[in-house]
Amino acid sequence: MNKEQQELLGEAYENYCKSFENQTLIEQYSFDTDPMIQLMFLNKCKTNPEFSEKWGLKIEERELNDDELNIANLFKQTSNKLITITYNDKTIESYE
């Protein structure tokens, strides 16, 4: 992922963590009492659409199709995956 995508992910995770600071006593005794680590948060956003929607972070990864691979080869890029991150109405795409 590029730097811009990492910053967007960091912003989303920071907002997720801040939500735990404002919990009431009743909420503190619920199932999610502490924020999960960033890697777990990002993986859950990738795999759980409801969780992803709740936090406003959408992470999509997909393999390139044959046409996209041919174009990448023309430009001497060895990418084979498209990563799209959307948060706060901002979308960033990169190829890996």
Per-residue pLDDT tens digits for 63-95: 988 888 887 777 776 668 889 999 999 999 988
Q: What is the pTM of this model?
A: 0.76
Write the DSSP assignment of 27-42 as a string of letters.
HHTSS--SPPPHHHHH
Q: Decide: 48 and 24 in contact? Cβ < 8 Å.
A: no
Task: Tell me how crowded residue 24 is: count the other CB atoms within 10 A of its CB.
Answer: 8
Tens digits of residue pLDDT in 18-49: 887 776 655 555 555 678 899 999 999 999 99
In angstroms, the first-to-last Cα distance of the chain is 7
More confident residue, 1 or 9: 9
Q: Where are the domains of the chain?
A: 3-95
Greater model confidence, 10 or 18? 10
